[in-house]
Amino acid sequence: MPFPQDTIGQVKGVFGRLSPRQRLTVGLTFFGVLGTVLGLVLWAGRPEFSLLYGDLNPESAAEIVDALKEAGVPYRLSRGGTAVLVPRDKVYELRVELAGKGMLSGGTVGYELLDRRNFGTSEFVQKVNYKRALEGELARTIRGMAEISYARVHLALPEERLFREDQEEPSASIVVAIKPGARLGPRQVAGIQNLVAGSVEGLRPERVIVLDMYGNIISERPDGKSPTGMAASQMELRRKVESYLTGKAQTMLDRVLGKDNAVVRVSVELDFQHIERNREYYDPEGAVVISQETEESETPSEGTLGRTERTVTNYEVSKTVERIVRSMGSIRRLSAAVLVNAKKELSQDEVTRLATLVGKALGVDPERGDQIEVYSMPFETSEIEAARMEMEKAAKRAFWMGMARRVGVGLVVVLLILWLRSKLRKVSQLPMPVEERRPRLPKVEEVPELEEEISPEALKEARLQELVGEFVQREPDRAARLLRTWLAS
């Protein structure tokens, strides 16, 4: 919106009546206020940076930084160069754009290597490129796991032989870097082994070795038959059983006593013996004739004929065969400890009821020697309360800091504007130079034409009237006293 001409004229007039020193002061003040306001506006409106990608390896970070420089997007590096920050309003757009360009490969080539068609390429080079592409794709897939920040895959693919007995089996080695604070369990390691084995023809999972960045072998036989693998499987099963039983008892106590008013810990002893028994039971009273054979013979003796009869009977005795197999992982013994948050000790009746309640939930068997202990004591909650209060204080502090930041910027701008207005008002009230106090003559076109010549007496009378008017305007008090004196006399 343009300024009115009269306002611009007034400003020019005020500025023109200033002395050189006053003009310098006003100019410095104006530009100082303008610079301060612009600085505050830029500081308050600066972009907030958010995480674009984190836990990057140097190759991926370099690719992303080069792409951001080429696009002219401001960025920042943090966490030792492993994280890239960009303005918050461009995070999702840049993620989609960089992912479309394949910037997250970490310097690893994949199947795009096979897109380069070079005529005259030998069969050996084609095999090497296929092997590199397969290794790169597997490394990218493994790197996509939440616990892994870096992965490298090496495949040993033997050449095909004419006879099957001469054919060697393929193998693979994988090097992974685990993110700080993460843990790669046996199931995840076995998953990596099966992933690679399923992607390479003829590769068995047990021929895939997984190592960490320190050269430690973290893979075991997938079937878990090695001593270490069996121990890990048993510990994992025990942990799952304890967690399941603890969850059952804890959920029930939370409903009865309130959340965080009771703690349950369950310890189980599992039986990992695999026992098979075969039993055969015979019932002598249940004999059954299965065959009977009768043999007759005649023998002449001194004029007489001797006759002999023999019978053979075969019996089948009733037999019962019983095969008993005891599965692995059955509970051999169970013990549980219950701690109740109470300022005074529970009565024996309350302890008994809680023990019975927990025992029913856990399936306690006294014949196995299962035990349940219930104790009561006040919980130590000072650290939890202190942490909660500290979090609340931090949230309030952040809120008020943001509010103070906005209010402070607005207040400073308002104060600067008021101060500048007061300075300009003082300048406009400065006395005018003597030569500028004389009334300006009206323009030529505004002077009315004289109808007749004015006499000297009329001019003198007009001059006296003008002087009297100036005297009244300049000293109204004296003029009033003089007028009252004339009227009184």
Q: Residue 434 — very low, low, confident or very high, per pLDDT cuts 50/70/90?
A: very low
What number is the average pLDDT over the span 187-193? Answer: 89
What are 52-101's pLDDT values in tens digits? 877 677 777 888 888 888 888 888 888 777 788 888 888 888 887 877 66
Q: Residue 113 — very low, low, confident or very high, per pLDDT cuts 50/70/90?
A: low
Of 405, 192, 362, the closest CA to residue 265 belongs to 362
At residue 361, φ and ψ (nearest 5 deg) are: -70, -35
What are 195-250's pLDDT values in tens digits? 999 989 889 998 999 998 888 888 865 555 555 556 667 788 888 899 999 999 99
CA–CA gap between residue 379 and residue 332 (Å, rounded): 32
Are domains 123-222 and 236-273+328-382 of this chain identical in fold? Answer: yes
What are 350-405's pLDDT values in tens digits? 888 999 999 988 888 888 889 999 988 888 777 777 777 888 888 888 888 878 87
Report the CATH number of the 236-273+328-382 domain: 3.30.300.20
pTM of the complete model beyond 0.85: no
Whole-number pLDDT of residue 270: 86
- The C-alpha angle 253, 254, 260, rounded to 5 degrees, equals 115
**What is the percent of the chain with per-residue pLDDT over 90, rounded to a whole number?**
9
DSSP single-letter state for residue 57? -
At residue 372, φ and ψ (nearest 5 deg) are: -135, 130
Q: What does the domain layout of the chain look like in residue ranges?
A: 21-112, 123-222, 236-273+328-382, 275-297+307-326
CA–CA gap between residue 251 and residue 363 (Å, rounded): 15
Whole-number pLDDT of residue 154: 93
CA–CA gap between residue 367 and residue 392 (Å, rounded): 52
| Mean model confidence pLDDT for the chain | 77
Instruction: Report which secondary-structure segment, H or E, holds 2.
Output: none
Whole-number pLDDT of residue 299: 67
Whole-number pLDDT of residue 454: 60
DSSP single-letter state for residue 319? E
CA–CA gap between residue 113 and residue 39 (Å, rounded): 51
Whole-number pLDDT of residue 100: 67
What are 435-466's pLDDT values in tens digits? 444 455 454 444 455 445 566 677 777 777 77
Q: Residue 6 — very low, low, confident or very high, per pLDDT cuts 50/70/90?
A: low
CATH superfamily of the 123-222 domain? ANL, C-terminal domain (3.30.300.30)
Whole-number pLDDT of residue 210: 93
Q: Residue 1 — very low, low, confident or very high, per pLDDT cuts 50/70/90?
A: very low
The DSSP secondary structure of 243-312, one letter per residue, reads: HHHHHHHHHHHHHHH-TTSEEEEEEEEEE---EEEEEEEEEEEEEEEEEEEEEEEEEEETTEEEEEEEEE
Whole-number pLDDT of residue 192: 92
Name the maximum alpha-carbon separation found in the chain: 215
Count of C-beta atoms within a 10 Å radius of residue 56? 23
- The encoded tokens of residue 160 equal 């095909």
What number is the average pLDDT over the span 100-122? Answer: 64
- The encoded tokens of residue 251 equal 């959920």
Lowest mean pLDDT among 63-77, 118-132, 175-189, 305-319: 305-319
At residue 70, φ and ψ (nearest 5 deg) are: -65, -35
Pairing of strands 148-156, 83-87: unpaired
CA–CA gap between residue 416 and residue 172 (Å, rounded): 72
Grouping H, G, I as helix, E, B as strand and the rest as coil, residue 131 is helix
pLDDT reading at 153 higher than 90: yes
Beta bridge partners of 338: 264, 374
pLDDT reading at 262 higher than 50: yes
Whole-number pLDDT of residue 304: 60
